[in-house]
Structure 1
Amino acid sequence: MSGATELAAGPGTGPGTSPIAVQAATPASPLKLAGFGADVSDGVVRVLGVHYGARLDPADRFSALGVPSSLRVQSAPTVFPQTPGSLDWLLGPALMEMPQSEDAFQINIWAPEGAQDAPVLVYLPGGAFISGAGTVRWYDGERLAREGGCMVVTVNYRLGALAFAAGRDGARNLPVGDILQALRWVRRNIADFGGDPEDITLAGQSAGAFYAYLLSQLHEAEGLFNRTALLSLAWQPPLTSAEYAERCTLFGQSLGEAGSEVQDTGLETVPVDALLQAQGAVSKAYAGRGLGFMPAAGDEVPADLFDFAAAVRRMHVSSLLLSTTQDEAAAFLKPLPVAAVGREQLTGFVAAHFKDVAATLGWLDQALPGETDHAKLVEAMTLHQFRLTAVELAEHATAAGIATTVARFDVGSPLEGARSAHCFDVPFVFGNRHQWHDAPMLNGVADEVFESAGGELRSLLLGFVSEGSARTADGSAVAAFDPADPKLHRIGAGGTGTIEPERGLNPRR
């Protein structure tokens, strides 16, 4: 870049933390802070690898965060340690391209050039609590920033054993503090990039939606954002103390089997590779019956987090946007052979997750005539975990005076078994197909479908970000959810419309 100088990365430099060239701020740029490297693309300023926090005790990998050192403002983007994700068959290998670091407390920022008091979108990525990163190419916010005239901030937070493994003082839920620190950084500094610190929307997808939902209820997060968008929020109550202890016991046993005995110093000195190997053993042990490492009930995470009546009374946001895909569970059930699911397996799932087994099975047979029991299991799991969850939350939030919009993304992937799976909507949200060039789920999706459906999905989100009211691509307001006459906004391959939520189903909660 012309006129660029170099920014010293400060202590802790190494692979993935090389210095970044600094573009001097000009009157046309939203950058007012000296010392940030940036580039401009088609009217959008991009600032990558900004450090929002640093461990208060650099020698303790489980330390809480504080303000980062002035010597380490920015470095090349990294991700927290992780192994390939279980949904790479859909998403592709982008995460594994990134350098890994235990100090990946970073955000990426996109800002319209010359922005002033622009609304701000803070995005928390998913990854089943053990993978993912806001710094990966999937979440390039350039198009959102350009089309919405808004700031886009994507966030890294700690994952897996490095986030949740038990310490001497009990359960850890470190990502909660990480995200709070990132939000505080945004609140303090976003005006220097052209954003309005009084107009912040927190959005999350999957595990990121869990955290956005949680933070919308935490007193510590009050005032850090105004509204919340939850993309594919699953029914996923936090672990109980017994469930958490069981996982930590298995984790410790797996570490021993891997030859990494935990000494008096605890987990602080165990090599990362050994932690990830033991973490994988825990995930494998719980496959098909829950997640391995994930948040547990404690000081930061209310035990009744998914008691919606209690949750909405705690919420400190003015409005909610809730979105799911039509076939969320297809992402998780693809490894299960179609022939392995018969009536017995379907009935077992329904009995465990719905109150009226016969009525639910009858509903599935009527809704999916001629389909396999595998397809009906996808439908049942999607209903229980996602679609009915969104409607139930909307009913309670609306009753509590929180304006809520509910949407459903119903565009299918040509990839066999994928359909409109969990995560399939994400590239449409960001509108950056070139950054998903190796994602199998997008192979064969027509460009006109990607652009049309993506335009509708971005309009929904950007209208919500800019004014708290979701909108269609032509600018029309999407009606808020009304429990007396419930309607959902549907985005399909052929356009948008209004549908009714599923009725007559009573999930076990």
Structure 2
Amino acid sequence: MATIDTTTGPLRVEHRDGLTHARGVPYATAERFRPPRPAPRSATVRDATVRGPACPQDPSRLDNVNGPIIDQLEQREDCLVLSVTAPIEAAGLPVMVWFHGGAYLSGGGEAPKYDPDDLAREGVVVVNVTYRLGVLGYLTPAGAGADNLGLLDQIAALFWVRDNIAAFGGDPETVTVFGQSAGGDSVLALIAAPSAKGLFHRAIVQSAPTGARSDRTAMTQAMRAALTGHLDSDPLTASTDQILAAQRHAIAVAQKFGVVSGLPFGPIYGLDPLPITLHQALAEAAPRVELLIGYTRDDAAPFVAMDPRAGAFAELGPLGRRIERFVARRITAKVFGDATTELARNWNDVGGDVATFRFDWQPPDAPFGACHCLELPLLFNGDWSDAPMLAGHPVPTSLAAEVRRTWADFARRGTEALPTRTLRFH
């Protein structure tokens, strides 16, 4: 055990296996439907050896892909915490700030599966962030408060990193933000947000559903109306269970809007802290933010499989499986691949440094191929043995080491550290 002082007070941290772990560290506090405020300084030593909470949420629709993520964590609305993992005696190391995925509806940075011990051993300091989700974080009932609160939480966490990470041996001038799925979408929003400018200079975007980010206005309006109408009590005093029930109702309303309904919640452009359009903001940011962006070969496969219409494929036997794979590849291209290629091309055209990647590796007998989330066990060394996407197989240690080394090298020196600007992981 050791004590590290921060702007929010002294922390009792754990030293184990050559690493410093600080868990469940409050970086901000917030009332329901209100923007975050910096966490007050504690006069007493805070125990940072136990995991913090996750935002209240329903079970994830991807539990049948990556297994349960937050089942070991408490859930509560007071969830603005982060964890830091750093080599003991670290000094001036690059910092990597992780934003988890989960469609802005599920997940949490404190989840054991996201433990970054082996990534930190590559010579970086890793910060895992928990932020508000769903109705509580991204789509407030009419008249109840502000939107984009989850994004404001993330920015508040980055300010905490700026002010405190040197105490853990990190360099606040060498910060890389990275995230997967909704976390990758969050990274793009952070790049676009003027209030996050200067808090990081590199970004890694993993499987962001960029192709599902257009024409969301009508869906958002319908969801807000559904939320407001479904709550029969004051949104500020309703129970958490009532909020989640209204959230489920809003998600059901979103389904009629097609592909965009796959990401019903998320940052709303044109509302604080975001500009009106994503593309113009990214073009302005490209010259100052180095970008590594990519996806997995079969990103969409789990979502195709869970579609109610997929049952028709099963009735066709081997032909149906081939058709399902074809459909999954087409949707992967539409939602993930083509959008990634276009964004990278535009980044390069306006003078930004960019590299792309694709994960093609899959375990033998993998039910969804090289699917959404499959790279996560390669980056994070929590226990993924219950993840159906791995079909009972361990991840290859050499490939996992290559992925972690590549991510850490990018955090250290940017695109110049990469062997090529078009990476493939097999």
TM, length-normalised to structure 1: 0.75
Q: Note the C-alpha offset of 1:239.
A: 6.3
Name the counterpart of 2:409: 463
User: How do 1:111-190 residues align onto structure 2 when only pairs under 5 Å count?
Assistant: 111-146=86-121, 148-163=122-137, 164-168=139-143, 172-190=147-165
Equivalent in the alignment of 1:319: 290
Distance (whole Å) between structure 2 residues aligned to residue 303 and residue 239 of structure 1: 13
Native 8 Å contact 2:364 2:391 kept in 1: yes
2:16 aligned partner: 41
Can you list the C-alpha shifts for 1:421-461, whole angstroms capped at 9, x where unaligned? 1111111112x1x522322222332x4x5212212211221
Give CA deviations for 1:69-122 in whole Å, capped at 9, x if unaligned: 223856641101001000000111231221011111000100110011111000
Partner of 2:270: 298
User: Does structure 2 retain, via aligned residues, the 8 Å contact 1:218–1:315?
Assistant: no
Aligned mates of 1:253, 1:376 — CA distance in 2: 40
Distance 1:251 1:239 in 2: 20
Structure of greater Rg: 1
Q: Is 1:377 aligned with 2:350?
A: no
Distance 1:41 1:285, change over 3 A: same
Q: What amino acid is aligned across from residue 184 of structure 1 in structure 2? A: F
Asked if the contact 2:151/2:186 (under 8 Å) is kept, the reply is yes
Q: Return closer, same or farther for 1:302/1:373 CA change in 2, 3 Å cut-off.
A: farther
| Secondary structure in structure 1 of the residue aligned to 2:356 | strand
| Preserved CA contact (<8 Å) 1:461 1:470 | no
In structure 1, the partner of 2:425 is 491
Q: Does the CA contact (< 8 Å) of 1:118 and 1:194 recur in 2?
A: yes
Asked if the contact 2:203–2:290 (Cα under 8 Å) also holds between the matched residues in 1, the reply is yes
Question: In the alignment, which of 236, 239, 249 is matched to residue 268 of structure 1?
Answer: 236
Structure-2 residue corresponding to 1:361: none
Describe the SS at the equivalent of 1:373.
Answer: helix
Q: 1:81 & 1:339 partners in 2: Cα distance?
A: 32
Q: Mapping of 1:24-103 within 5 angstroms?
A: 24-25=2-3, 31=4, 35-55=10-30, 60-71=31-42, 76=50, 77-103=52-78
Q: Which residue of 1 aligns with 2:252?
A: 284
Offset of 1:406 from its aligned partner?
0.5
Alpha-carbon spacing, 1:316–1:126, altered in 2? closer, same or farther (3 Å): farther
Equivalent residue runs for 1:425-436 within 5 Å:
425-430=375-380, 432=381, 434-436=382-384
Can you list the C-alpha shifts for 1:151-198, whole angstroms capped at 9, x where unaligned? 000000100011122342776110111011000000001111111111
For 1:264-321, what per-residue CA distance to the aligned partner results, in whole angstroms no more than 9, with x for missing partners?
xx3111110111122122223434541333332322233421x3x6522244633100
Taking the aligned partners of 1:386 and 1:470, their CA distance within structure 2 comes to 25
Name the CA shift for 1:315/1:167 in 2 (closer, same or farther; >3 Å): farther
Which has the higher relative contact order, 1 or 2, with Cα contacts under 8 A spaced 6 or more apart?
Answer: 2
1:399 is matched with: 349
TM-score, normalised to structure 2's length?
Answer: 0.89
CA distance in 2, matches of 1:331, 1:179: 28
Determine the C-alpha separation between the residues in 2 that align with 1:108 and 1:156: 9
Match for 1:490: what amino acid? R
**More off after superposition, 454-463 vs 176-185:** 454-463
Would the alpha carbon gap of residues 470 and 130 (structure 1) be closer, same or farther in structure 2, given more than 3 Å must change? farther
Change (3 A) 1:32 1:269: closer
Q: Which moved more, 1:318-327 or 1:293-302?
A: 293-302
User: What residue identity is the alignment partner of 2:200?
Assistant: F
**Which stretch shifts more, 111-120 or 33-42?**
33-42
Q: Structure 1 residue 211: deviation in Å?
A: 1.2
Q: Which residue of 2 aligns with 1:220?
A: 195
Offset from partner CA, 1:24-82 (integer Å, 9 cap, x none): 34xxxxx4557212112221111100000012xxxx31121112122385664110100
For the residues of structure 2 that align with 1:414 and 1:93, how far apart are their CA atoms?
A: 22
* Contact 1:32–1:192, Cα closer than 8 Å, also in 2: yes
**Deviation string, structure 1 residues 328-348 (Cα, Å, up to 9, x no partner):** 001211123645259xxxxxx
- Distance in 2, Cα, partners of 1:286 & 1:244: 8
Distance in 1 between the 2:117 and 2:301 partners? 30
Q: Tell whether 2:419 aligns with 1:478.
A: yes
**CA gap 1:423/1:410 in 2 versus in 1, 3 angstroms:** same
Q: Following the alignment from structure 1 to structure 2, what is the Cα–Cα distance between the partners of residues 383 and 211?
A: 20
Provide the secondary structure at the position in 1 that maps to 2:306.
coil
Residues 317 and 399 (structure 1 numbering): CA distance in 2 closer, same or farther, change over 3 Å?
same
Unmatched 5+ stretches in structure 1: 1-22, 26-30, 256-260, 343-368, 472-476, 481-487, 493-509
8 Å Cα contact 2:142/2:224 also seen in 1 = no
1:240 deviation in Å?
A: 4.5
Work out whether residues 52 and 107 of structure 1, in 8 Å CA contact, stay in contact via their aligned partners in 2: yes
- Is 1:340 aligned with 2:312? yes
Residue 185 of structure 2 corresponds to 210
Deviation (angstroms), 1:248: 1.2
Match of 1:244 in 2: 220
- Whole-Å Cα distance in 2 between the matches of residues 461 and 43 of structure 1? 20
